[in-house]
């Protein structure tokens, strides 16, 4: 009975622990390897819809700008709370851009060009002024200063617009002033300070922006977002803006995904009810997050380890380029076995064993076949993709003449023998004999299936260290074709 009571007590305790233990949150990711996304938030700006807003810094407009700033912070805070998201706030993006290569030097040169353009404008030299301003614009954009410091680039566009209006270049002036108001939509002008033509051009540019159906596409093109993502190593950009009259504000938000080189989602909703708008923002970000976050497949589909050891066998055909005691080149047939070790993708070490039989030529100047064995050791460079690899190798060749060599063009030597008194000109080399030389080979390896490949090589050997043999027989050119296996 006492043991039964103890069992019941333990069961009740375990049940109580199970009921009181905290349950995993429903929105937590399952355990395992998940890819962390680098998400950057681009500056969120307020775009007014009325041309009159350009000349009036009204309390309503200031309030709209404050609301825009609050939603900017809210977007960043919502993203910071998502799993597997590493947030790059706007300030961090601007700081990263300012640390990129040549940023400070390029911006300094662009500022000098801008100052020179303004100076030429005041000196009434419009052509020189526009040339310097255009150069400043290109320099600023080359380092994405329109993201880090849009106000400076907006100044360039403003002066371009002023000059082009005065030059009656209506279309170009409209484009420059539209760039100005896109880069710096909060800029305001004093009524009556500029000529009527300038004010009219500014209102026209503002109206053009207001009628644009997709302001975000007008502000940033996808190819520029893709290039910026590569520079900053960011996976997803959040592009957002607030537009509309101060009493009818709406938030437009889109998420650019570098992996698909396009916008993964694009939404807009009114901000009249802040609580409802906050729920809409959560819905948009949560829906995107559920589809965007993915398992890290680097551990699941792990790239197989690189093969380092290669063994191949092949048929070798050789031709002796130097054959001073015969009238035709001497041909040799044989086989080779090569073992290659590639400790790095660019370096290869090898050892090759070759057995060849040099055949009697058609004139019979080589008195008999002779057999040669060689062992070559060396190193080389390997290059090319994994499917087709090339190698350039240099090695030390140790040759062994297994049979005697006799060569002559004298008929008496051939008929009576090289030891006869009638034989006046002949060459002979006794065996066994060791030859030492240098070998140079260019090879290729073509993968057939995993672990198997075709191999080919062409090379030449120079027996420079054996003057007795090298004077009469040297520089065997060899070509090999075979197959091998990788380990």
Looking at the fold, whether 132 and 279 belong to one and the same domain comes out as yes
Q: Is the pLDDT of residue 44 over 90?
A: no
Point out the least confidently predicted range of 90-94, 262-266, 277-281: 262-266
pLDDT for position 158:
92
C-alpha closest to that of 282 among 84, 71, 90: 71
Looking at the fold, whether 228 and 165 belong to one and the same domain comes out as yes
HEC string of the chain equals CHHHHHHHHHHHHHHHHHHHCCCCCCCCCCCCCECCEEEEECCCEEECCCHHHHHCCCHHHHHHHHHHHHHHHHHHHHHHCCCCEEEECHHHHHHHHHCCCCHHHHHHHHHHHHHHHHHHHHCCCHHHHHHHHHHHHHHHHHCCHHHHCHHHHHHHHHHHHHHHHHCCCHHHHHHHHHHHHHHCCCCCCCCCCCCHHHHHHHHHHHHHHHHCCCHHHHHCCHHHHHHHHHHHCCCEEEEEEEECCCCCCEEEEEEEECCCCEEEEEEEEECCCHHHHHHHHHHHHHHHHHHHCCECCCCCCCCCCCCCEEEEEEEEEEEEEEECCCCCCEEEEEEEEEEEEEEECCEEEEEEEEEEEECCCCCCCECCCEEEEEEEEEEEEEECCCCEEEEEEEEEEEEEECCCEEECCCHHHHHHCCCCCCCCCCEEECCCEEEEEEEEEEEEEEEEECCEEEEEEEEEEECCCCHHHHCCEEEEEEEEEEEEEEC
Banded pLDDT at 27 (limits 50, 70, 90)? very low
* Contacting residues for 281 by C-beta, under 8 A, at least 6 apart: 74, 75, 78, 251, 253, 269
Banded pLDDT at 450 (limits 50, 70, 90)? confident
For the stretch 384-393, pLDDT in tens is 887 899 999 9
C-alpha closest to that of 118 among 155, 149, 145: 155
Average pLDDT of the segment spanning 288-306:
62
**Residues 338 and 352: beta-carbon distance below 8 Å:** yes
Looking at the fold, whether 70 and 128 belong to one and the same domain comes out as yes
Strand pairing category for 452-462 and 433-449:
antiparallel
pTM: 0.52
Q: Give the domain CATH number at 316.
A: 2.40.160.20
Examine the fold and report which residue of 231, 265, 292 is the final residue of a domain before the chain moves on.
292
- Cα→Cα distances 365→411, 416, 428, Å: 9, 14, 12
pLDDT for position 332:
94
Instruction: State the Cα–Cα distance between residues 36 and 86, nearest whole angstrom.
Output: 7
Looking at the fold, whether 44 and 69 belong to one and the same domain comes out as yes
Q: Return phi, psi of residue 387, to 5°.
A: -75, -35
Cis preceding linkage at 432, omega within 30: yes
Instruction: State the Cα–Cα distance between residues 426 and 3, nearest whole angstrom.
Output: 110
Looking at the fold, whether 366 and 441 belong to one and the same domain comes out as yes
pLDDT for position 2:
44
Looking at the fold, whether 288 and 361 belong to one and the same domain comes out as no
Looking at the fold, whether 374 and 401 belong to one and the same domain comes out as yes
Q: Say how many domains are in the chain.
A: 2
Does 69 reside within a domain? Answer: yes
For the stretch 451-473, pLDDT in tens is 899 999 999 999 877 666 777 88
Encoding tokens for residue 466? 């054996």
Looking at the fold, whether 395 and 283 belong to one and the same domain comes out as no
For the chain, the average pLDDT equals 83
Q: Return phi, psi of residue 136, to 5°.
A: -60, -40
- Cα→Cα distances 464→3, 227, 265, 440, 457, Å: 96, 57, 72, 13, 22
pLDDT for position 218:
55
Instruction: State the Cα–Cα distance between residues 431 and 429, nearest whole angstrom.
Output: 7
Examine the fold and report which residue of 223, 257, 292 is the final residue of a domain before the chain moves on.
292
Instruction: Give the residue with greater pLDDT, 120 vs 48.
Output: 120
Does 397 reside within a domain? Answer: yes
Looking at the fold, whether 287 and 313 belong to one and the same domain comes out as no
CA dihedral 151, 153, 157, 162 (to 10 degrees): 60
Looking at the fold, whether 420 and 395 belong to one and the same domain comes out as yes
Looking at the fold, whether 341 and 210 belong to one and the same domain comes out as no
Examine the fold and report which residue of 292, 322, 357 is the final residue of a domain before the chain moves on.
292
Does 22 reside within a domain? Answer: no
For the stretch 349-367, pLDDT in tens is 999 999 999 999 988 888 8
Q: Is the pLDDT of residue 26 over 80?
A: no
Angle at 450 between CA 449 and CA 456, to 5 degrees: 60
Q: Is the pLDDT of residue 239 over 70?
A: yes
Does 445 reside within a domain? Answer: yes
Question: What is the domain range of residue 135?
Answer: 38-292
Does 21 reside within a domain? Answer: no
For the stretch 128-176, pLDDT in tens is 999 999 999 999 888 888 777 788 889 999 999 999 988 888 888 889 8
Does 299 reside within a domain? Answer: no
Instruction: State the Cα–Cα distance between residues 209 and 200, nearest whole angstrom.
Output: 14
Instruction: State the Cα–Cα distance between residues 77 and 39, nearest whole angstrom.
Output: 12
Q: Return phi, psi of residue 84, to 5°.
A: 60, 30
Banded pLDDT at 29 (limits 50, 70, 90)? very low
- pLDDT over 70 for what percent of the chain? 87
Q: Is the pLDDT of residue 9 over 60?
A: no
Banded pLDDT at 83 (limits 50, 70, 90)? confident
pLDDT for position 415:
84
pLDDT for position 32:
44
Q: Is the pLDDT of residue 478 over 90?
A: yes
Please tell me the total number of residues recorded for the chain in this structure: 487
Does 147 reside within a domain? Answer: yes
Does 468 reside within a domain? Answer: yes
Encoding tokens for residue 83? 């799993």
Looking at the fold, whether 75 and 191 belong to one and the same domain comes out as yes
Average pLDDT of the segment spanning 242-267:
84
For the stretch 87-129, pLDDT in tens is 989 888 888 888 877 888 898 999 999 999 999 989 999 899 9
Banded pLDDT at 420 (limits 50, 70, 90)? confident
Encoding tokens for residue 276? 């409802």
pLDDT for position 25:
36
Q: Is the pLDDT of residue 226 over 60?
A: yes
């Amino acid at each position: 009975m006492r043991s039964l009571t103890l069992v019941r007590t333990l069961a009740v305790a375990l049940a109580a622990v199970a009921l009181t233990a905290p349950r995993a949150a429903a929105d937590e990711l399952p355990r395992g390897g998940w890819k962390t996304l680098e998400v950057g938030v681009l500056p969120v700006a307020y775009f007014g819809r009325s041309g009159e807003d350009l000349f009036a810094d009204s309390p309503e407009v200031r309030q709209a700008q404050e609301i825009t700033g609050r939603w900017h912070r809210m977007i960043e805070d919502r993203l910071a709370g998502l799993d597997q998201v590493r947030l790059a706030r706007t300030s961090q993006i601007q700081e990263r851009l300012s640390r990129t290569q040549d940023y400070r030097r390029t911006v300094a040169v662009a500022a000098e060009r801008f100052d020179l353009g303004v100076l030429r404008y005041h000196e009434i030299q419009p052509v020189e002024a526009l040339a310097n301003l255009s150069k400043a614009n290109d320099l600023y954009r080359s380092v994405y200063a329109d993201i880090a410091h849009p106000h400076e680039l907006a100044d360039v566009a403003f002066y371009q617009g002023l000059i082009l209006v005065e030059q009656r270049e209506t279309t170009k002036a409209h484009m420059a002033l539209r760039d100005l108001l896109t880069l710096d939509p909060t800029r305001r002008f004093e009524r009556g300070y500029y000529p009527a033509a300038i004010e009219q051009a500014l209102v026209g540019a503002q109206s053009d922006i207001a009628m644009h159906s997709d302001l975000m596409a007008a502000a940033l093109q996808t190819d520029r977002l893709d290039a910026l993502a590569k520079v900053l190593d960011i996976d997803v950009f959040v592009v957002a803006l607030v537009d509309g009259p101060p009493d009818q504000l709406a938030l437009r938000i889109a998420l650019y995904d570098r992996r698909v080189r396009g916008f993964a989602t694009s939404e807009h909703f009114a901000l009249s009810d802040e609580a409802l708008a906050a729920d809409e923002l959560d819905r948009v970000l949560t829906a995107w997050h559920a589809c965007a976050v993915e398992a890290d497949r680097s551990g699941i589909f792990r790239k197989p380890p690189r093969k380092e050891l290669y063994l191949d066998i092949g048929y070798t055909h050789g031709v002796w380029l130097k054959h001073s005691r015969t009238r035709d080149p001497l041909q040799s047939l044989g086989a080779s076995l090569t073992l290659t070790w590639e400790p790095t993708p660019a370096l290869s070490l090898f050892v090759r064993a070759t057995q060849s039989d040099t055949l009697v030529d058609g004139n019979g100047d080589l008195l008999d076949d002779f057999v040669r064995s060689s062992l070559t050791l060396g190193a080389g460079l390997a290059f090319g993709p994994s499917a087709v690899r090339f190698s350039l190798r240099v090695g030390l060749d140790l040759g062994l003449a297994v049979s005697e060599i006799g060569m002559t063009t004298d008929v008496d030597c051939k008929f009576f023998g090289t030891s006869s008194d009638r034989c006046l000109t002949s060459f002979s080399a006794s065996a066994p004999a060791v030859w030492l030389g240098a070998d140079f080979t260019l090879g290729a390896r073509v993968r057939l299936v995993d672990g198997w490949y075709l191999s080919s090589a062409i090379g030449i050997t120079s027996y420079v260290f054996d003057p007795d043999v090298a004077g009469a027989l040297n520089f065997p050119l060899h070509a090999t074709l075979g197959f091998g296996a990788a380990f």
